[in-house]
């Protein structure tokens, strides 16, 4: 009986390694702010990957399509119920992530006799007069990280670090329009895509040494089998609902 805790720890490590192997080839997701709101961006292949949760909240994810849909419906239905039972003002990202999504992720990951969710999720909440913009990332083990300026999700921590380093160097607090934000998001996505294509031991350096031309070559290659998908939460949108998907024309203009 004394070795039971060690068996559990070993099982958890094996589960983590397995999930990261499954997530590694997934298309990264980039979230960043611009002067009229917030953006979530990725390159999808057939299945939509960016969704509205509520008026000021959107999400994207990488992982198994069934797990993404199951958890997307969980958080969307929870937001709808909360809005019906109380008020729409009571629906916020902190409550949805810390009381709904994170516990579900953590329980599934640590219950080694059951199936874990093969997923990482990124959510964005557009601030209001009394609240600031916020990105929240949820790891497959239930760990939550928040950032007001930008956030990324990729198959492994080292892939995410490489993308974060690029965004940090690009001065993410600078004022930028939609087109500039879209280009920066695509370049960051290309960094993540390049790192995800490498062998696991090669991503530890977190350094891609890519120039802009190489980044857009990666983007062009990805578009042969998929399409750029970007959703925004815009302060200028009329009404309570602030979410919309960018049109193909808006994306082509940026490129």
Nearest to 41 by CA among 201, 193, 208: 193
- pLDDT computed for residue 172 by the predictor: 57
- pLDDT computed for residue 210 by the predictor: 86
The secondary structure of residue 206, as a DSSP letter, is: -
- Under 8 Å between Cβ of 244 and 237: yes
Q: Within 13 A of 242's CA, how many CA atoms are on the CB side?
A: 20
User: How far apart are the C-alpha atoms of 227 and 230, rounded to whole Å?
Assistant: 10
Nearest to 69 by CA among 130, 15, 117: 117
- Under 8 Å between Cβ of 42 and 229: yes
Other beta carbons within 10 Å of 169: 8
Low-confidence ranges of the chain (pLDDT < 50): 1-2
User: How far apart are the C-alpha atoms of 27 and 35, rounded to whole Å?
Assistant: 26
User: How far apart are the C-alpha atoms of 242 and 122, rounded to whole Å?
Assistant: 17
User: How far apart are the C-alpha atoms of 69 and 73, rounded to whole Å?
Assistant: 6
Query: pLDDT tens digit string along 78-137?
Result: 998 887 777 677 789 999 999 999 999 999 999 878 889 999 999 999 987 667 899 999
Q: If 0-12 CB within 10 Å is exposed, 13-18 middle and 19+ buried, where does residue 127 land?
A: middle
User: How far apart are the C-alpha atoms of 163 and 135, rounded to whole Å?
Assistant: 15
- pLDDT computed for residue 216 by the predictor: 92
- pLDDT computed for residue 6 by the predictor: 65
- pLDDT computed for residue 5 by the predictor: 67
- pLDDT computed for residue 1 by the predictor: 40
User: How far apart are the C-alpha atoms of 27 and 188, rounded to whole Å?
Assistant: 12
- pLDDT computed for residue 205 by the predictor: 56
Show the CA angle centred on residue 186, arms to residues 74 and 142, nearest 5°.
Answer: 30
CATH architecture of the domain formed by 27-254: 4-Layer Sandwich (3.60)
Phi, psi of 162 (to 5 degrees): -60, -40
Chain centroid to CA 102 = 14
């Amino acid at each position: 009986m004394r070795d039971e805790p060690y068996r559990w720890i070993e099982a958890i490590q094996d589960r983590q390694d397995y999930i990261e192997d499954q997530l590694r080839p997934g298309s990264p997701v980039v979230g960043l702010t611009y002067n009229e709101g917030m953006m979530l961006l990725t390159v999808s292949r057939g299945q939509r990957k960016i969704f509205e949760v509520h008026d000021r909240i959107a999400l994207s994810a990488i992982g198994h399509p069934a797990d993404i849909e199951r958890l997307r419906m969980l958080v969307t239905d929870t937001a709808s119920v909360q809005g019906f039972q109380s008020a729409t003002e009571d629906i916020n990202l902190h409550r949805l992530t810390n009381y709904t999504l994170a516990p579900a992720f953590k329980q599934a990951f640590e219950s080694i006799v059951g199936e874990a969710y093969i997923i990482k999720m990124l959510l964005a909440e557009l601030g209001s007069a009394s609240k600031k913009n916020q990105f929240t990332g949820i790891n497959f083990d239930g760990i939550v990280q928040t950032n007001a300026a930008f956030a990324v999700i990729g198959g492994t921590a080292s892939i995410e670090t490489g993308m974060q380093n690029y965004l940090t160097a690009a001065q993410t607090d600078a004022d930028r329009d939609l087109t500039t934000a879209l280009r920066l998001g695509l370049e960051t996505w290309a960094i993540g895509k390049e790192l995800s294509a490498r062998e696991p031991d090669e991503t530890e350096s977190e350094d891609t040494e890519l120039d802009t031309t190489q980044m857009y070559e990666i983007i062009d290659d990805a578009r042969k089998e998929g399409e750029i998908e970007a959703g925004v939460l815009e302060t200028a949108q009329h009404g309570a609902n602030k979410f919309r998907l960018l049109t193909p024309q808006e994306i082509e203009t940026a490129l």
